[in-house]
Chain A
């Protein structure tokens, strides 16, 4: 079962920052937080991941609370093409190449003109 809780849906105005929250209160010390998104039946797209430090890449920023029980994905300037279902996933690090991603229901982010 998914170990995360996300709002079902959110709206954001085009050009504004989109802040997508995720609760993962049962996360353990060796588990990473991953974010993927899926645009209308396309393949899921990797966005970002982190363990405990905040992370930033060309797509987004990931803010993880100090206790690691929650995180926020930030899209700094949302565009209409960012409308998608965003999945927050907790993934166990096992040091090898043997893992799976457990997708929950995600958050449908709708970016409005």
Chain B
């Protein structure tokens, strides 16, 4: 168990809909990262937050957004969903000190867009 919690584990929805994925980082970790893994693209970095502020952006679509709350949990919002958004979405967190340079991943949310 990495200590990173993602909910829900599975999500099935229809095209055009909006969903929210949730991530609780390891205790004390200030950084949260979101990744997307689809069959054809592999693991792709989407976005990073550090202590509530956006720190880095990767290949995140404009239909997607994220935020990190004061309690450090993070949410990834996906809107106007398309079939191609079906993928595994992973959250990772990293902390301070000796744990600063290691990202620990959650078990992921499997999104199926029908």
Chain A contacts to B: CB under 8 angstroms? 32, 38, 41-46, 49, 87, 91, 93, 97-105
Stretch from B12-20, B66-74, B78-86, B101-109 that touches the partner: B101-109
5 smallest CB-CB distances across A and B, nearest first, come from A43-B105, A103-B43, A100-B45, A44-B105, A98-B55
What DSSP secondary structure best describes chain B's contact surface?
A: strand
Given contacts A43-B105, A97-B50, A103-B43, 11 further A-B contacts (CB under 8 A): A32-B101, A38-B43, A41-B88, A41-B108, A42-B107, A43-B107, A44-B105, A46-B102, A49-B101, A97-B96, A105-B42
What 1/0 mask marks residues of chain B from 32 to 73 whose CB sits below 8 Å from any chain A CB? 010000000011110010100001101000000000000000
A41-B88, A49-B101, A105-B42 known; A100+B106 contact, CB < 8 A: no
Contacts of A104 in B (CB 8 A): 42
For A91, A97, A98, A105, the residue with the greatest tally of chain B CB atoms inside 10 Å of its CB is A97
Interface bin, chain B: 20 to 34
Q: Is the CB of A44 within 8 A of B90?
A: yes
